[in-house]
Structure 1
Amino acid sequence: MELTKPFPVLETKRLFLREVVPSDAASILTYLSDQEVMEYFGMEPFQSEQDALEEIQWYNEIFSNKTGIRWGITIKGNDAVIGSCGFHDLSKKHVRGEIGAELSKDYWRKGIMTEALSAIIPYGFNHFNLMRIQALIEPPNTASIRLFERIGFSREGLLRKYEYTCGKFDDLYMYSLLKTD
Structure 2
Amino acid sequence: MVDKARFPILRSQRLVLRRIHENDANSIFKLRTDAVVNTFIQRPQGRADNNGLEFVNRIQYDLSKNKIYHWVIVSSESSELLGSICLWNFNVEKTIAEVGYELFPKYYGQGIMSEALTEVIDFGFRQLQLTSIEAFTHRDNERSTKLLIKNGFELSPNRSDVDNLNNIIFIKQKAC
Residue 42 of structure 1, CA deviation:
1.8
Partner letter of residue 15 of structure 1?
L
Given that 1:97 and 1:133 are in contact with CA atoms closer than 8 Å, whether structure 2 keeps it comes out as: yes
Greater CA drift, 44-53 or 120-129: 44-53
Give the equivalent residue in structure 2 for 1:171. 166
Residue 4 of structure 1, CA deviation:
3.5
Give the equivalent residue in structure 2 for 1:130. 130
Unpaired runs of 5+ residues, structure 1, are 164-168
Instruction: Tell me which protein shows more strand as a share of its residues.
Output: 1
2:30 paired with 1:30: yes
Q: Quick one: distance in 2 between partners of 1:33 and 1:101?
A: 14
Greater CA drift, 41-50 or 60-69: 41-50
Residue 62 of structure 1, CA deviation:
2.2
After superposition, the Cα gap between the structure-2 partners of 1:5 and 1:161, relative to the gap in structure 1 and judged at 3 Å, is closer
Number of residues of Structure 1 aligned to a counterpart in Structure 2:
176
Give the equivalent residue in structure 2 for 1:140. 140
Residue 91 of structure 1, CA deviation:
2.5
Q: Quick one: distance in 2 between partners of 1:91 and 1:19?
A: 22
Q: Quick one: distance in 2 between partners of 1:34 and 1:46?
A: 10
Partner letter of residue 23 of structure 1?
N
Give the equivalent residue in structure 1 for 2:80. 80
After superposition, the Cα gap between the structure-2 partners of 1:138 and 1:3, relative to the gap in structure 1 and judged at 3 Å, is farther
Give the equivalent residue in structure 2 for 1:119. 119
Q: Quick one: distance in 2 between partners of 1:178 and 1:160?
A: 18
1:120-148, Cα deviation, whole Å (9 max, x unpaired): 10100111100010011110111101110
Residue 160 of structure 1, CA deviation:
4.9
Written as runs of structure 1 = structure 2, the 5 A alignment for 1:1-181 is: 1-93=1-93, 95-157=95-157, 159-160=159-160, 162-163=162-163, 169-180=164-175
Q: Quick one: distance in 1 between partners of 2:80 and 2:145?
A: 27
Q: Quick one: distance in 2 between partners of 1:111 and 1:23?
A: 26
Given that 2:161 and 2:168 are in contact with CA atoms closer than 8 Å, whether structure 1 keeps it comes out as: no
Unpaired runs of 5+ residues, structure 2, are none
Q: Quick one: distance in 1 between partners of 2:49 and 2:121?
A: 30
After superposition, the Cα gap between the structure-2 partners of 1:161 and 1:13, relative to the gap in structure 1 and judged at 3 Å, is closer
Instruction: Give runs of ≥4 in structure 1 deviating > 4 Å.
Output: 158-161
Residue 30 of structure 1, CA deviation:
2.2
Q: Quick one: distance in 2 between partners of 1:147 and 1:56?
A: 26
Q: What TM-score does the superposition give when structure 2 sets the normalisation length?
A: 0.91
Given that 1:158 and 1:172 are in contact with CA atoms closer than 8 Å, whether structure 2 keeps it comes out as: no
